[in-house]
Structure 1
């Protein structure tokens, strides 16, 4: 039994023209070889499985080829090419930086660079996954990478260019590899199955190419698995089954049920999908991609973004043109929100079914929002209309105000108006001049005293009490303003202001202190604990109509604050001035520091004695005594 070799290794490109989907890089390298303009360091970066290491090996083989072609390809016949293909070339070194990322590994590599190649012209060092090198290894490699020997060429390959130090990037020629598109992948797979004698449907190859997401190595691995699974026959259905992909027919049926608002059909269809083992997040993700493809089909300019099986393209285009854009965008929003919240949901099936229910009645919601029949619809105003006004009567003089009525502006309603009652205003068509609608107030305000008086009178005259708010009597306007009208309230306040004609009393320290003492005495007579705080407070006049109450602490401030209302009314009444204001200020009284005499220690007592009697110290020194 022959040893099986996977397609990714068996059909690895050996020349530049067999590299798939990277023509912009292979052409540049071929021209550099033909023109002898090779750099000393290259950096190949890009996604996985797109040919970075393959191109590095082809470049290493081609620059050592003894008989290169005119197109800059290796001949594959000279001793150097044969040795490279057999894996015995002494001029090509490959280092896996993922497992050899220490400083010692780079130093050993630098030591090998000093030796010139024996059979060839260049020594090529291919360092794969170079982003895995440590910072110390990068620093040890800098000098050699910047000024290598003339025969040394370094080719670095990585999938994460952002992790490489900028000092390394500046010393290399950078080549960015791109993802391989679906068409190139399908074409390459067709060539392989033709060589292997495998039967495969084009729709199946398109599904494989879309599943690989631009990675040729993944596409070849998937093809090998499906060939083993199907015994050499690759069909569309078994490819979907093996890759756990939901057929697009289910999405077409699901969309049809939703547009017809057939909730039962949609729920039964999802139950069938769930029985086949497809998780809810897979359904939501696949349906989102399906809606996206329908949205792409709406415009021919972006039709190239449609990545589906060719047999379904016409169906996508037909249904996409018949589906409103608003429905597709709203459906994408619902599916996106459901997919984001799927992980946090406890009942996954219920979460998915809730999204299906929303999508089923989405068309009805859009119709209501657009102005269709239904409750809670948004009403579109076609045109603005001017508000009708009635002419305003001349403002009466103060002696005639009892005959005036309270103005009220009428709000115009768009609905047909009911028949005009005698107490309602008559609407007129708008004209060029502005008019103001004047009508009697709908309700009258009655003060509490007047309400009590009316109630007592009504008890004597009628068994049923009259309401506090009465409708105005428009038939007898000339009789004068009734109680509770705006004019009566104005007259009431005018009478109060007429009685208060005494001039305000100037505020002085003596009068303020006297009124303060009187108010404090009232508090003490009522046994109010705030009286003591009032006694200890000090008054400072800051302006003719304001003064400050200075307290010693927060407790006194709270006591005085509790009597603010009564104190304010009392002071304003005494000075006959309603504009007098006061503020309460807290001042921290400094505490006097009283020095406390500290008792003297034994040593201090001795020093004090020595100051008075110096001979004591001489006696201590003669006796050779110490000081404790």
Structure 2
């Protein structure tokens, strides 16, 4: 039984011309070989499976070829090329930096560099996945990489260029590999299928190329799996089944349900998709990609970005004509938000169904916000628009007759076209809280000679409206100290009954009337001030209602009591204690003198 070799190894390119999709790199390398302008260090970087290691091996084989072709290709017939193809060449050394990333591995490599090649011109060192080297290994490699022997060439390959030290990058000639295009992948797969006598549909090959995302190695691996699955026949249907891809026909049917606002059809279609084993996030992601393709089809300039099976291009173009770009953008935003929140949703199925419900009625929602020039997400009104409202009856002129005279009944308002005018009411001015520094003596504010109080703009507006509409406004009672204290005490009792700690601060406060509708609450410490401020709003409303004065306001004034200076006696020293003892008992001093004692004070 012949041993099976996967297509990725069996059809690995052996010359620069057979490398797929990297012409900008292969041409540069061939010209450098022909003109003998080879650098001593190369860095091949790019996505996985695009030919970095393959190009490194072809370059190593070509520069050691004994019969170099005029176009810069290897002959594949000389001893050097044959030994390379058989894997027995002594001039090519490959190192996997993912598993050999220590300083000792790099030092061993540097030791090998000192020996010149026994046959051929160059010794080539290919270091794959070079970004996996440790920082110490990079530093040990710097000097050799900068000034290698004339016969040594280093080729570094990596998929993550940003992880390599700048000191390494500056010593290399960098080549950036690009993803292989969809058409190049399809052509290469078709050529392999023809060599292997595989019946492959172009739609299936396009689907494989699309699934591989520009990676030729992945495309060849997928092809091998499908060939084994279908016994040598690659069709669109079995490719979709094997790759577990949701057919685009489902998205077209779902799109028709959205346009027709057929919620039942959309829910049944999603149930059918769910029964086939497709998760909700796959449906959201696939439908978002479908809407993206529709948006691309709206403009011929970006039609090249449409990477779909050729047979679906016409269907995409026809579907794109049915909707406007604003609808597609709104749907994309909705799908993107649903896909982001899918992971955190507890009921996954309900989450997807809610997204489908919103999509079904998206066109109706956009119609409600349609402007005169088109559909806008946010409606902007440039000017006032006449609206057919009932005419607003203006306020009647104030009557100058006696208040007891009955008012004439207003005439019924005629129906006419009036402009909608919105007036913003004036906000009630915030009550200032006066916190004064400590004063030696407090003097209440003097009253005005005429005894008139200031009327706020809001009160004036109320009176004006009431007068114009013919209504009576109850006059506010002037503020009296007796009634104020009684109402204040009643509010304190209310706080006590509700067990609020602020009642003590209210009980300790002093009241001073300053105007007809204003008084001041005097406190002597900041704690009382904070407690009174805490219940200030409720106290104001209670007093206005209790004293029948809607304009009643009060300010909190802090007058800190002067601190009393308490004279404290200093503790007596040992000497003072002895003198006091002698003063009370003179015999102690006599005893000290007779015994000739020295006291240590």
Is TM (by shorter chain) over 0.5? yes
- Which consecutive residues of structure 2, in runs of 5 or more, have no partner in the other structure? 404-408, 420-462, 480-484, 490-502, 511-518, 541-552, 576-592
- Which consecutive residues of structure 1, in runs of 5 or more, have no partner in the other structure? 406-419, 431-468, 475-480, 498-518, 536-545, 567-577, 601-611, 618-628
Give CA-to-partner distance per residue, 1:540-580, whole Å, 9 cap, x none: xxxxxx999895x65677799999999xxxxxxxxxxx999
Mapped to 1, the partners of 2:169 and 2:567 lie a distance apart of 74
Deviation at 1:100, TM superposition (A): 0.4
Aligned to 2:60: 60
Aligned to 1:292: 292
Greater shift in the superposed pair: 268-277 or 587-596: 587-596
Cα contact 1:258–1:266 (8 A) shared by 2: yes
Deviation at 1:325, TM superposition (A): 2.0
**How is 1:603-622 mapped onto 2 (pairs within 5 angstroms)?**
none
Cα contact 1:52–1:157 (8 A) shared by 2: yes
Aligned to 1:222: 222
RMSD: 4.8
**How is 1:65-464 mapped onto 2 (pairs within 5 angstroms)?**
65-370=65-370, 384=384, 402=400, 422=411
Give CA-to-partner distance per residue, 1:145-189, whole Å, 9 cap, x none: 111111111111111111111111111111111111100000110
SS at structure 2 position matched to 1:370: coil
Mapped to 1, the partners of 2:264 and 2:27 lie a distance apart of 58
Mapped to 2, the partners of 1:325 and 1:378 lie a distance apart of 15
Deviation at 1:349, TM superposition (A): 2.0
Mapped to 2, the partners of 1:35 and 1:182 lie a distance apart of 33
Deviation at 1:351, TM superposition (A): 1.9
SS at structure 1 position matched to 2:155: strand
Give CA-to-partner distance per residue, 1:509-543, whole Å, 9 cap, x none: xxxxxxxxxx9xxx9xxxx98899899xxxxxxxx
Pairs aligned (count):
492
Mapped to 1, the partners of 2:506 and 2:249 lie a distance apart of 90
Deviation at 1:365, TM superposition (A): 2.0
Aligned to 1:583: 558
Aligned to 2:27: 27
Mapped to 1, the partners of 2:315 and 2:321 lie a distance apart of 10
Aligned to 1:6: 6
Aligned in 2, Cα 1:383/1:72: closer, same or farther, shift over 3 Å? same
Deviation at 1:613, TM superposition (A): 12
Q: Normalized against structure 1, the TM-score is what?
A: 0.67
Cα contact 2:521–2:555 (8 A) shared by 1: no
Mapped to 2, the partners of 1:115 and 1:101 lie a distance apart of 22
Mapped to 1, the partners of 2:382 and 2:308 lie a distance apart of 44
Deviation at 1:286, TM superposition (A): 1.1
Mapped to 2, the partners of 1:296 and 1:556 lie a distance apart of 70
Deviation at 1:6, TM superposition (A): 0.4
Mapped to 2, the partners of 1:319 and 1:562 lie a distance apart of 65
SS at structure 1 position matched to 2:99: coil
Mapped to 1, the partners of 2:534 and 2:296 lie a distance apart of 72
Deviation at 1:581, TM superposition (A): 8.8
Deviation at 1:596, TM superposition (A): 3.8
Deviation at 1:137, TM superposition (A): 0.5
Q: Normalized against structure 2, the TM-score is what?
A: 0.70
SS at structure 1 position matched to 2:71: coil
Aligned in 2, Cα 1:256/1:113: closer, same or farther, shift over 3 Å? same
Cα contact 1:50–1:217 (8 A) shared by 2: yes
Q: Which has the larger radius of gyration?
A: 1
SS at structure 2 position matched to 1:95: strand
